[in-house]
């Protein structure tokens, strides 16, 4: 699974508050197959839930997708996708 590096997260073209918001979200791996990984992302404040998918057969940036309105209308990484990347960063 391709995870963004710290440098990519700091220098990426994301919505201004996406990284800060992503840090507040809870991420749980839902399932994994040979070609897909699905995550449930929950906002503990609002209770909203979104599904984030990694599809290994797709080329970046289309290898990641989310069911939220932001991602669907803008086709940019949303806070939900960034939360998955942050939760999978190697420990330092």
Helix (H) or strand (E) holding 65: strand 64-66
Whether pTM exceeds 0.85: yes
Q: Which residue has the higher pLDDT, 40 or 17?
A: 40
Instruction: Flag whether 1 is in a domain.
Output: no
In this structure, what token pair is assigned to residue 37? 């990984």
Instruction: Flag whether 49 is in a domain.
Output: yes
Q: How many CA atoms lie within 13 A of 44 on its CB side?
A: 8
In this structure, what token pair is assigned to residue 28? 């749980």
**pLDDT at site 92:** 47
Please list, residue by residue across 37-66, b when 16 or more beta carbons sit within 10 angstroms of its beta carbon and e when fewer do.
Answer: bebbbbbeeeeeebebbbeeeeeeeeebbb
Q: What total of structural domains would you count in the chain?
A: 1
Q: Where in the sequence is the domain holding 68, given as residue range(s)?
A: 6-87
Question: Taking all residues of the chain, what is their mean pLDDT, rounded to a whole number?
Answer: 90
Report pLDDT digits (tens) over 14-38. Answer: 877 889 999 999 999 999 999 999 9
Instruction: Flag whether 19 is in a domain.
Output: yes
């Amino acid at each position: 699974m391709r995870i963004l590096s710290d440098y990519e997260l700091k220098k990426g073209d994301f919505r201004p508050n996406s990284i800060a918001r992503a840090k507040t979200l809870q991420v749980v791996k839902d399932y994994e197959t040979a070609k897909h990984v699905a995550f449930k992302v929950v906002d503990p404040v609002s209770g909203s839930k979104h599904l984030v998918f990694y599809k290994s057969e797709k080329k970046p940036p289309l290898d990641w997708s989310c069911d939220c309105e932001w991602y669907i209308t803008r086709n940019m990484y949303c806070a939900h996708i960034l939360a998955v990347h942050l939760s999978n960063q190697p420990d330092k």
